[in-house]
Amino acid sequence: MPELPRKLGLFSAVAVLVGSTIGSGIFRSPAGIAARIPHEGLFFLAWIIGAVCVMAGALTYAELAAALPYTGGVFVYLKEGFGPLPAFLFGWAELTIVRASALGAIATVFAEYLLRMLGVEFTRDAVHYVAAGSILLVAMFNVVGVRIGALVQNLTTSAKYLALLALASASLLFGGAGVSTSAAPAVTGGTSISLFGLALISILWVYDGWADVTFVSGEIKRPDRYLPLALIVGTSAVAAIYLLTNLSYTHIFSMAQISRSELVAADVASQLMGGIGVKLVSLAVMISAFGTLNGSMMTGPRIFFAMADHNLFFKRIASVHPRFKTPHIAIGLAAFLASIFVMFRNFEQLADAFVLGIWPFYAGGVAAIYSLRRKQPELPRPYKAAGYPVTPAIFLAAAILLLANALLAERTALLVFAIIAAGVPVFWFWTRTTPRKIG
């Protein structure tokens, strides 16, 4: 079976993680979080807890990635830890729900801001067509070569990170928190444990994307060293810029104002620079979404490639382009499905389906560390998770909170989980009708 060459260095690996994580969430989600947590101290506590949970996942995956540095990441951890069925279900969920929904949701945000930047009065159809076009464009970048995709990722990640850093710095240096009580009445509502939990779930959604770098493990140089470093450095960088950005928001606006601002970054920029600030932030959001789209296209199709490579999917999907050395058929499949999804579903539907579909497997991947420590104690581990066994348990507790709340609050949760469960008979049929041995 042809192998994907290891061409990605440490900076590119960090860029994949940061670029896949920082999307549009940090520009828009603080409003809903502030509405649930109107107390500034608790607001920051929730963001810190979210960072701790995600860092616990990153530290756990750092051990797994260094020990099993193969294309597919979470797919490989599930297979090695629990067998082929959970791994197949992860790939099945990625194929039927997760990756197409993720690409479609990100492309929708990009399309909306691109049309806004161009001054076009856009319709729903226009957004759908531009979103589908952007999906095909980044697919082309990633088919032509992982270095091209990495270059796009490096540039867009640097741009979005610097944009957030510039906005935060300008807010703290030139802005002021002197908001009068008449302009910003105090929030009188309290914060319950339930509301705090809902806010924490929103924060965990904003952090989503940190695990995507593991999907390209088979293409990262010196994986025993660079993969743990990328997970730890990249996740730390995301947590730091998120906390700094929220600090800048609260420096300019009261919690009441933040809770009413659907695009708080644009409102902060407007306060500092007027209309030009809004345009600059809109450009930053557009670049951010495009970079996240590219990162998702770079990482997600590797799961289909890994499935085929392990004889859990059509072998043709694991083909490597003879010239560009990329999994071109897997990328094409992901782009095709995402283009269909984005034409018929809106952003909220796509985003909800993605989160509900991916988090059970994030949790399973983290839980695999316990199984592998027991089943394969001799497995070389260049890096061992700091704080084990508590570190993985922290992440698993957060995942259980997220999924339990989804079952209670999200009407689409049962449908998503039913689609995942439908993969069980598909697995049974595949393994009994495919003569090849499961790798």
Burial class of 409 by CB neighbour count within 10 A (0 to 12, 13 to 18, 19+): exposed
Cα(156)–Cα(84) distance, integer angstroms: 36
Cα(334)–Cα(167) distance, integer angstroms: 34
Cα(50)–Cα(207) distance, integer angstroms: 8
Phi and psi, residue 3, nearest 5°: -110, 150
Please provide the distance, in angstroms rounded to a whole number, between the alpha carbons at the two ends of the chain: 12
Residues 71, 216 contacting (CB under 8 angstroms): yes
What is the pLDDT averaged over residues 225-231? Answer: 94
Contacts of 248 (CB under 8 A, 6+ apart): 167, 168, 169, 170, 171, 172, 175, 268
More confident residue, 339 or 404: 339
Rg of the Cα trace of the chain?
21
pLDDT at 266: 81
Cα(353)–Cα(361) distance, integer angstroms: 14
Neighbours of 353 (CB within 10 A): 27
**Residue 410 pLDDT greater than 70, yes or no:** no
Q: Please report which confidence band the pLDDT of residue 277 belongs to, taking 50, 70 and 90 as the band edges.
A: confident
pLDDT at 189: 55
Residue with token string 């590219």: 294
Task: Specify the long-range contacts of residues 415-418, CB closer than 8 Å, at least 24 apart.
Answer: 416/97, 416/353, 416/356, 416/357, 417/356, 417/360
Cα(265)–Cα(310) distance, integer angstroms: 45
Neighbours of 21 (CB within 10 A): 28
Which ranges of 68-187 would DSSP assign to H, the alpha helix?
74-82, 84-93, 99-117, 124-144, 146-174
Our CA dihedral for 90, 92, 95, 96, rounded to 10 degrees, sits at: -120
What is the pLDDT averaged over residues 275-294? Answer: 84
Q: Which residues pair with 8 in a beta bridge?
A: 220
Q: Which two tokens stand for residue 344?
A: 């018929």
Q: Please report which confidence band the pLDDT of residue 1 belongs to, taking 50, 70 and 90 as the band edges.
A: very low
Cα(428)–Cα(426) distance, integer angstroms: 5
**What would the pLDDT profile of 420-433 be if each residue is shown by its tens digit?**
999 999 999 988 88
What is the pLDDT averaged over residues 48-73? Answer: 93
Quick one: residue 298, left, alpha or beta (phi over 0 = left, psi -120 to 50 = alpha)?
alpha
pTM tops 0.95: no
**What would the pLDDT profile of 70-101 be if each residue is shown by its tens digit?**
988 999 999 999 999 999 999 999 888 898 99
Q: Please report which confidence band the pLDDT of residue 124 belongs to, taking 50, 70 and 90 as the band edges.
A: confident
Mean pLDDT of the chain: 86
What is the pLDDT averaged over residues 18-36? Answer: 85
**Residue 182 pLDDT greater than 50, yes or no:** no
**Residue 186 pLDDT greater than 80, yes or no:** no
What is the pLDDT averaged over residues 175-186? Answer: 45
CATH number of 10-433: 1.20.1740.10
Q: Please report which confidence band the pLDDT of residue 185 belongs to, taking 50, 70 and 90 as the band edges.
A: very low
